[in-house]
Amino acid sequence: MFDLVSFCDLNDSELWLVVRLYIAALIPVILTLYYIFNKKVSYSDSRTLLYSFIIVALGWEIWLTYGLYDGLPVDERRSLALSCAIPIHINWILNSLADVLIIWLGLFFVKQFYKQKSSPFLKWRWSAFFILLIWFVSQNIYVEAYFYHMQLGSNGDLSWAPLQPLGSWYNPVLFKISGNPITFQSQSSWVIMTPIVYCLSICFYKKTLKDNSD
């Protein structure tokens, strides 16, 4: 890590961003290997997380990384030091894995809330939906305010993406935290992602029950 700091000439803020991203990306990989080796893999959870990885990657991470439509690639929105430490071609993979960690935690929170109740994945429950929504949006606000403000760029720099359908064409600043703007576009992806994750969870949970009963 110290060689990376020296080689890429990261300042303290950039180093902290890089460390957090790599840790957040590695945790779901480590947990996945742990569950596989200990034969504790949940069919419904694993499918939900796998599909979620694909959706977040194709839904916005790849688009924002490469600036695919009417936006700038991430290397043009951040310092050379950050681009050195987080190469563009693995940027979307690391961010997608970090997104999976957020989704995994969201599902965990829902399960904990319903621990003494019937499963929230048998049918749609608004309380479970709002637990996911509040968690997804609140963590993303934190990320935008304290984590990615160094590479989001100005309004108009971010690419359109399928799960950010209004792109930078309509991207008002909702409010500011510590002087960093919290924008509409950055929150929209997680608002849209919430029902997708919940529907995937219900679908795969019910499929697991059906397969076990056959």
Is 168:102 a contact under the CB 8 Å cutoff?
Answer: no
- The predicted-structure confidence for 82-98, as pLDDT tens digits, reads as follows 999 999 999 999 999 99
- Please report the pLDDT score of residue 59 as a whole number: 97
Measured over the CA atoms of residue 169, residue 58, residue 13 and residue 182, the dihedral's sign is positive
- Please report the pLDDT score of residue 38 as a whole number: 94
CA atoms within 13 A on the CB side of 166: 13
- Please report the pLDDT score of residue 137 as a whole number: 97
Instruction: Provide the residue ranges of all domains of the chain, joining segments of one domain with +.
Output: 2-213
- Please report the pLDDT score of residue 179 as a whole number: 87
- Please report the pLDDT score of residue 170 as a whole number: 87
Burial class (CB in 10 A: 0-12, 13-18, 19+), 193: buried
Please name the amino acid found at residue 82: L
Burial class (CB in 10 A: 0-12, 13-18, 19+), 61: buried
Ramachandran bin of 179, using left for φ above 0, alpha for ψ from -120 to 50, beta for the remaining angles: left
First to last CA, the chain: 51
CA atoms within 13 A on the CB side of 37: 6
CA atoms within 13 A on the CB side of 86: 27
Please report which residue ranges of 38-181 form alpha helices under DSSP H.
Answer: 43-56, 62-66, 80-85, 88-113, 126-146
Q: For the chain, which residues score pLDDT lower than 70?
A: 1-5, 150-156, 214
Which of 46, 64, 18, 27 lies closest to 189, judged by CA?
A: 64
